[in-house]
Amino acid sequence: MTVANVTEQHAQFFGRLIEESQQRQPMEVPGDILPVKDIQIRESVFQHRERGSGQSLYHEAELTKALQGLRSDEDLEPITVWWSGAAWYCIDGHHRLKAYRSARPDRHVPAKAFEGTLTEAYAEALRANSRTKLPMTPRERREAAWRLVMLGIGTKKEQRLNAGVSDGLIATMRRVRTSLKDAKPSEPLPASWWQAQCAAKGLEAQPYTEEMHDEKVTEIVEKLAKTFGRTLSNKPHMFWDALERYDLNLFKQMWQMPKEEGRWDDD
């Protein structure tokens, strides 16, 4: 993997990790534990979930509560870490690590080391996210799939299985990647699947950007999570009825919303 293959958004972090791996300092075997402060987080590289989502915020809060309720000699499941050549990075267990930082910032935490290259660690982070009890959303799976395709990690089958998306979506992403690279070989690929689709269609950047959209969505999600916790997830029919009663027109619009290409997964 080279910095040239990575988008501008990820180039800084990938470049730093590549430089660290080239230092080739011997791995400091952690044994079974590591100090919380010694584990670094690079979510733009190893966290394939959307940061700030209500589900993630709730999960992190629940883990923090769980830690506070455990005895001092009890811990959560081990965090998977990867040695870059200069530091330890979390590749699985970001929510657990944040919970430890909040509840036990000066403690050691159980950890297990993943041995492999940066590319292999990147793919392992995605596999771990796909296996976890906290399911990835369709959007998260699409963006994870685009990252794999964008960076050329794995075969078509491996990309499909690791991201948990359809063959058709991977094929579409590969075609888009090829067309974008053929059209502008010297320019970095778009950071997100939404941006890639716009670029492939020759669309200019819209005044209302994806980042602006995500900020608004995150704001709404945080309010929902803070107000309702898991109630909406545990009682979807109640939420459905409440939404209809809240705004019948909105309810009808959502019901009739078309299944746009790449917007809703067809898995």
Tell whether 104 is covered by a domain: yes
Report the DSSP beta bridge partners of residue 79. 111
Tell whether 245 is covered by a domain: yes
- Whether residues 130 and 220 share a domain: the answer is no
Residue 233's domain spans which residues?
216-256
Put simply, whether the predicted model's pTM sits higher than 0.95 gets the answer no
- 30-69 pLDDT per residue, tens: 567 888 888 988 877 777 665 555 556 666 677 777 777 7
- 171-216 pLDDT per residue, tens: 999 999 999 999 888 888 887 888 888 888 886 545 556 667 777 8
pLDDT category, 81, cuts 50, 70, 90?
Answer: very high
Q: Using CA atoms, how far apart are residues 192 and 34, in angstroms rounded to an integer?
A: 34
Tell whether 68 is covered by a domain: yes
Q: Of 73, 105, 134, which marks where a domain is finished?
A: 134
The domain tally of the chain equals: 2
3-class secondary-structure state, position 260: coil
- Whether residues 232 and 125 share a domain: the answer is no
CATH number, domain of 91, equals 3.90.1530.10
Per the structure block, which two tokens stand in for 253?
């619009």
Q: Using CA atoms, how far apart are residues 238 and 41, in angstroms rounded to an integer?
A: 38
- Whether residues 14 and 128 share a domain: the answer is yes
